[in-house]
């Protein structure tokens, strides 16, 4: 059968909570990591370009090791919801660590890497548990479209905040509003995970 926009109306609250997590979580993690993190580390932590790049790569370095193990853990234990809650919580915790605690930036980036692995390992397989097979392609398509729109929008908002607050080497405090924006988006993503847990008991593991 061909695509029918009305199929979208048949998705339940649990699916839309998963979509909200997908949109908000990716809006925080990928906009920061792909666009702003290297300049942030240079200007806020005073790192040279090569070290800032290495710091940025820590996210994927962590996920290379942990994602297969966490995916296996999801399948082995069936605790998709617990793993998703844990992973979505780590992202706002990472932004707090980077911007407001003032500790070692390696800690914040390691937390982002673990969040990237935990959420990725649980979120995409979970979609198949919330949507009937004949609508699964539509469900993933909607998630991908909204996810990428959110990433694009997040980049625009974060860039605007940096411009308005004159963020840069001479004003590292100007990055604060951007980090608050990422913290707010990722925190709302965590709330969406809690709603998902509530809306789909017994369908997404323990």
Task: Give the residue, 43 or 9, on which the prediction is more confident.
Answer: 43
Q: How high is the pLDDT of residue 190?
A: 95
Q: What share of the chain is helix, strand, coil (3-state, %, to 5)?
A: 85, 0, 15
The span from the CA of 39 to the CA of 36, in Å, is: 6
Q: Is the pTM of the predicted complex or chain greater than 0.95?
A: no
Confidence of residue 73 (pLDDT cuts 50, 70, 90): confident
Q: Which two tokens stand for residue 104?
A: 């070692």
Query: Model confidence over 106-137: pLDDT tens digits?
Result: 889 989 988 988 898 888 888 888 888 778 88
The residues, any chain, with a CB within 8 Å of residue 202's CB and separated by 6 or more, are none
Q: Are 78 and 176 in contact (CB under 8 A)?
A: no
* Residue 156 neighbours by CB distance under 10 Å: 11
Is pLDDT of 1 > 70? no
Question: Does pLDDT of 53 surpass 80?
Answer: yes
């Amino acid at each position: 059968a061909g695509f029918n926009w009305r199929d979208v109306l048949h998705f339940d609250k649990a699916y839309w909570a998963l979509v909200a997590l997908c949109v908000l979580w990716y809006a925080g993690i990928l906009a920061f990591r792909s666009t702003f993190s290297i300049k942030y580390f240079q200007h806020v932590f005073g790192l040279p370009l090569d070290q800032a790049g290495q710091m940025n790569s820590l996210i994927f370095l962590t996920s290379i090791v942990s994602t297969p193990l966490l995916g296996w853990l999801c399948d082995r234990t069936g605790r998709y919801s617990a793993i998703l809650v844990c992973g979505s919580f780590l992202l706002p915790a990472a932004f707090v660590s980077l911007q407001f605690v003032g500790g070692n930036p390696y800690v914040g980036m390691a937390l982002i890497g673990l969040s990237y692995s935990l959420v990725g390992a649980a979120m995409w397989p979970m979609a198949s548990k919330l949507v009937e097979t004949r609508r699964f392609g539509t469900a993933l398509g909607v998630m991908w479209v909204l996810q990428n729109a959110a990433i694009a929008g997040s980049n625009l908002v974060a860039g605007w905040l940096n411009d308005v607050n004159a963020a840069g080497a001479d004003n590292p405090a100007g990055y604060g509003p951007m980090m608050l924006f990422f913290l707010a988006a990722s925190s709302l993503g965590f709330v969406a995970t809690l709603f998902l847990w509530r809306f789909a008991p017994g369908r997404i593991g323990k």
